[in-house]
Each structure stands twice: as C-alpha cells, then as structure tokens.
Structure 1
Amino acid sequence: MSEQQPPKIEFPCENYPIKVLGEAGPDLHSYVIEIMERHAPGFDQTRITIKESSKGRYNSLTVWITATGVEQLTAIHEDLRINRSIKMVM
C-alpha cells in the first residue's frame, strides 16, 4: 500500500481557513488578529467566527485569509503557537 499524500494547494489560495483553539478571553482574539495582520495584511476581520466551548473555558476562532505559500502558513502557525493560551492551530 502506498502512503496517501496530503492534497496539494495551489497558491495563492483565497478563502483559506485557519482555526485557532485557545483559552477564552479578549487577549486570544486580539493576538490572533495581530498575527494575521502581520502575515496576511488586509484579511477580512468581519469573517472571523468565534465559537465558545460548552463550559466557556475555550474559544475556537476561524480566520479566512488568502494564503500565498507554504512559508506564510508555516510562519503563521509558528507565531500562533508561541502564545501559551493557544492550544491548537489547524
């Protein structure tokens, strides 16, 4: 059996979703916006969706950007993971 390869993304890729799961609070939202503005300036902040966990301890934010390449996506992931309140980036 051959190993399945992840799908190839053609860049630029409009409407690329990035989901961030972290501890609930205003700092999470502002930090995610700061990182996205750094790496995907001008992204549409009005499209950010926020879902609260059942107990309210965590928030899941989905941000839609125009992905320009693997380097950009790697940098976003690395910068988001620096923050200790962020538990997962997808």
Structure 2
Amino acid sequence: MSDRETLIEFPSRFPIKVMGEAHPELMQAVEACVAEHVPDAGDAVIQQRASSGGRFVGITITFTATSQDQLDGLYQALGRCDRVRMIL
C-alpha cells in the first residue's frame, strides 16, 4: 500500500475512460488490463461507444477501486497498450 495522500476515499466506485481507434484488439487489451487489476471480475462494468464516424471508440470502465496503488497500476497497464490513445 502506498503512503501518499489521495483525495479519493476507498473503496469507491471509479470510472476510467479509454479512447482509441476502433479495433477488436483495443477491447481485448482493455479487458486484459481490467482482469489483471480488478480482482472481482463481476464488479467491473465495461461499456463501449463508437464515435459518430466509426473510426474511434470510447470505453468506460467502472469498478470499485480499493486503493490508489490499484488505480495507478490499472492506469499504467492501460498506458502500455498500443491501441490506447488516451486515458481519462
């Protein structure tokens, strides 16, 4: 566990938004990252929405975050995915 301060009270429902080009590998990569960092697979809700032109997709992951370390790990894992262009 990290000793640094955070403004988030844990546990807390937390949304992460991921954007990238529409490609099946994007969703597969996001799901793999979530499976690695969210122990209760049934807790994570993953929603996908295509852009109006269909070239890009936005993915929202909502789950119960249990620590800042968990959030940091998930953000870092998503950032290493080649298909991910932006994480909010």
TM-score, normalising length: structure 1: 0.81
Residue 55 (structure 2) pairs with residue 57 (structure 1):
yes
Match of 1:25 in 2: 23
Residues 32-76 of structure 1, C-alpha deviations (whole Å, 9 max, x = no match): 111001000223378321111121111101111110111111111
Unmatched 5+ stretches in structure 2 = 1-5
Shift of 1:84: 2.0
One-letter amino acid matched to 2:8: I
- Quick one: structure 1 residues 56 and 45, their matched pair in 2 at CA, closer, same or farther if it must change by over 3 Å? farther
Match of 1:11 in 2: 10
TM-score, normalising length: structure 2: 0.83
Task: Give the alignment's Cα RMSD to 1 decimal.
Answer: 1.8
Q: Give, in whole Å, the separation in 2 of the partners of 1:37 and 1:17.
A: 15
If you compute each CA radius of gyration, which structure gives the higher value, 1 or 2?
1
SS in 1 for 2:41: coil
Q: Give, in whole Å, the separation in 2 of the partners of 1:34 and 1:62.
A: 14
Unmatched 5+ stretches in structure 1 = 1-6
Shift of 1:18: 1.1
The percentage of counterpart residues that share the same residue type is: 35
